[in-house]
Amino acid sequence: MPAPFKWVSTPALGQGRASGGSTAAELFETGSTQRRRPLLETLVREICQNSCDQRTGSQKASVYFDLLLLKGEEREAFLRAANWDGLSPHMEAVSGLSGAALTLRAGVQAMAADTLVCLRISDSGTEGLSGDDWDEAGNFRRLCIQNFSTGNDTGRGGSFGLGKAVSWMHSRLLTVLFSSRVHGREQEGLRVFGRSEIPAHELDGASFLDGAYLGSPGLRDGIDVALSDWRSEEACIDLKLDRAGLSGSGTTLLIPAFHEPDREDTGELGIRDPEELCADLTDAAAKWFWPAISWGRLEVQARVFRSGETHPSHVCRAEVNGVWAPFLAASRTEPGTVAALEPGDSAALDLTGFPLPRRIHPEDRPDLLHKPAETTIRLGVTRVSPTEGCLPCRSTIALIRGAGMVVDYVDGNRLNDGGAYCAAALVGNAIQHIPASAAMDAQSAVPADVEEYFRAAEPVTHDDWLPTTRRLRESYDWRGSAGRLRGLRSELRQLVIQKLLIADEPSPDEGPELLARMLNLGRAVSSPSEQKRGERPRLEIVLDRDGCCFDPSREGWSLQGELIRHGKGEASATAGLSFSSLADSGKGEAWRISDLELMGSVSEVSLDDSDARRFVFSVSSGFGTLPFRCLVRPPAGVDPTLAGFRQGG
């Protein structure tokens, strides 16, 4: 009979630093972009992404979300096996009003309830928790011990990085237990461990650092530690970590005292209706992983197990059903088709010439370095019928790379006819799963290199492509291409509407109508408070839409406007004129101004045009108004008839 597992807390020695909670968990509560979706969806995204990343070979990863409702002797056996008597005094010793302390108090109460709710998450067909207890590159240490460590494996989306904190957030005990059948070591049984994010605390006159670990007690450098241990499946039954019915290697996580920290509609068990919860788990998997599911990389089930029952009382599966089928159809459409004009129609195009900057790091991996190149992005769209107008992601563009997860759904521009659509943009290794084209074959960039570039552009929550991530800025000679990546969402919006959803008719008037689509501007209006202050001298630059037009011969916009001085006094007035691409985050890439014509007397005007990206006008007290004309051109590789731009100062 193996020795029981024990919880080990680390004593505070000398000036050992201590924390009042999980830094990673706190970051999830700061209002970042991922907060637009429920935390349950974030949990599903993190789990399924890591399972896809950790697949063994080309086989499918299977993921099971099991809701366990433990009562009676089954509950008592779990508490004994999990050494609850060894952890609970430390939990109760945590004081204060921090979020972690309050959560733990609720967790201690949940553990005393007649029914203990746990969420068990298992995958199979994956690597499992490889590496020994001290192997910094192994899956075991990255998931169970380290914080903010994602590894450097190419083609993976940040396995076991910041996102793993969401698992601990769903436990009122801030605790997760693990078992794993490790690939290549299947005959050794299950590797078992546990980790609690308990804050620093004092108990019986002794001080302890944050964190406690469940395992076999051991010593390292004279300090008590918990070591992972290998057990038979039978020895893990009471812990609910036995992986019964799962074939092959993989990992199981058990979240005791499970709850949804961002929901209020809970019942007697502290959760929603179990069947409704299971449906939300599989719906979230379908929403964010329909590419991986359709590619045969992933399958997801959610099940309910009640005490005394050997079989689940409820089972549901993630499916690429009618809700997500339009996105799948869009991703599978060959380019060159006619516009999608009727519900059910699909169309696609290849966005060529997207820049892939030179990769300069890591210098010790010359196989990863490459010269500047260009890649092609496949963009497809499907119109949906009025009865599908309630699609949860209607009129959006799914961003997809080879990982098979939807990075984000970009809000698209609305159609004038009120119609709806589902679009998909695919990059990198995702092109292996879409119809080939001459443009795809001719691109100079290697798909694996493109995959790494977009992976590097993802923040820790993996829900955007940004040129500002530290990994991208340190790995690539990114200057000159950042603006194109930052403005990609806007560019995709324009392409979907103008190239794929509108009939191939003569292009709109190359003056006001097309400009209205391209240019985001408005004449400034003085506020009442400004008028009451006596109107200090100021210079306004107003563009005349009717006088502007696109000049194909010069590949830019011929813009016409007027300089207008307002206010009284002898002081000079200054204003800048600039243009930049529309971008969802940060400032878009600057457009260049040239061929300026001032149509009238310039005796009262001075101009600083040393920077072609921003002209600065200064006028004296005798100035009134003056018409002007100039040419504005986008950065290289940007289509001026598609890329939206805005006027700046």
Q: Confidence class of residue 23 from pLDDT cuts 50, 70 and 90? A: low
Out of 84-88, 258-262, 282-286, least confident range: 258-262
CA distance 162 to 461: 8
The pLDDT > 90 percentage for the chain reads 54
Residue 74 has pLDDT above 80, yes or no: yes
Out of 294-303, 323-332, 383-392, 396-405, least confident range: 383-392
Residue 304 has pLDDT above 50, yes or no: yes
Among the ranges 147-151, 223-227, 473-477, 533-537, which has the highest mean pLDDT value? 473-477
For the residues 278-305, what does the mean pLDDT come to? 96
CA distance 465 to 28: 19
- What pLDDT does residue 212 have? 92
Exposure letters 92-108 (e unless 16+ CB within 10 A, then b) = ebbeeeebbbebbeebb
CA distance 391 to 324: 9
Render pLDDT for 54-72 as a digit per residue (tens, 0 to 9).
Answer: 999 888 999 999 999 999 9
For the residues 248-253, what does the mean pLDDT come to? 95
Written as one string, the DSSP assignment of 259-270 is --TT-----TTS
- What pLDDT does residue 241 have? 96
Could you list the beta-strand ranges (E) of 32-85: 61-70
Give the residue, 390 or 87, on which the prediction is more confident: 87
Residue 484 has pLDDT above 60, yes or no: yes
The Cβ of residue 340 has, within 10 Å, a number of other Cβ atoms equal to 26
- In the chain, the domains with their CATH numbers are 21-317 (no CATH), 326-500 (no CATH), 519-648 (2.60.40)
Q: State the alpha helices, DSSP H only, in 58-172.
A: 72-81, 84-93, 99-112, 139-144, 165-169
pTM of the model: 0.82
CA distance 395 to 391: 9
- What pLDDT does residue 502 have? 85
Q: Confidence class of residue 509 from pLDDT cuts 50, 70 and 90? A: low
Average pLDDT, the chain: 86
Where residue 83 falls (left for φ over 0; alpha for ψ -120 to 50; beta otherwise) is: left
What distance lies between CA 161 and its chain's CA centroid? 13
Residue 529 has pLDDT above 70, yes or no: no
How far are the Cα atoms of 386, 574, 614 from residue 630, in angstroms, in the given order? 45, 18, 12
Residue in the structure block whose two tokens are 């109460």: 109
CA geometry: angle at 514 spanning 508 and 515, to 5°? 160
- What pLDDT does residue 532 have? 43
How far are the Cα atoms of 221, 230, 510, 515, 581 from residue 561, in angstroms, in the given order? 75, 76, 17, 14, 20
Residue 528 has pLDDT above 50, yes or no: no
- What pLDDT does residue 417 have? 76
Contact call for residues 18 and 210 (beta carbons, < 8 A): yes
Q: Confidence class of residue 510 from pLDDT cuts 50, 70 and 90? A: low
CA distance 327 to 424: 6
How far are the Cα atoms of 69, 77, 227, 249, 264 from residue 307, in angstroms, in the given order? 6, 12, 30, 27, 26
Contact call for residues 142 and 160 (beta carbons, < 8 A): yes
Which is nearest to 524 in space by CA: 541, 547, 502, 548? 541
CA geometry: angle at 309 spanning 252 and 260, to 5°? 50
H or E, element range at 27: helix 23-28
Residue 144 has pLDDT above 60, yes or no: yes
Q: DSSP 3-state assignment of 367?
A: helix
CA distance 159 to 161: 6
CA geometry: angle at 201 spanning 195 and 202, to 5°? 125
Contact call for residues 100 and 199 (beta carbons, < 8 A): yes
- What pLDDT does residue 479 have? 82
Q: Confidence class of residue 322 from pLDDT cuts 50, 70 and 90? A: confident
Contact call for residues 493 and 501 (beta carbons, < 8 A): no
Residue 524 has pLDDT above 50, yes or no: no
Contact call for residues 249 and 182 (beta carbons, < 8 A): yes
Residue 522 has pLDDT above 60, yes or no: no
Written as one string, the DSSP assignment of 164-207 is GHHHHHTBTT-EEEEEEE-TT-GGG-EEEEEEE-PPPEEETTEE
For the residues 246-255, what does the mean pLDDT come to? 94
Q: Is 417 exposed, middle or buried (0-12, 13-18, 19+ CB in 10 A)?
A: exposed
- What pLDDT does residue 142 have? 85
Render pLDDT for 572-607 as a digit per residue (tens, 0 to 9).
Answer: 999 999 998 877 666 778 899 999 999 988 889 999
For the residues 382-395, what does the mean pLDDT come to? 81
CA distance 177 to 259: 16
Query: Residue 526 has which token pair?
Result: 């003085």
Cα Rg for the chain, rounded, in angstroms? 29
Q: Confidence class of residue 518 from pLDDT cuts 50, 70 and 90? A: low
- What pLDDT does residue 521 have? 55
The pLDDT > 70 percentage for the chain reads 87
Biggest distance spanned by C-alpha atoms of the chain: 98
CA distance 399 to 383: 17
Q: Confidence class of residue 512 from pLDDT cuts 50, 70 and 90? A: low
Out of 190-194, 389-393, 595-599, least confident range: 389-393
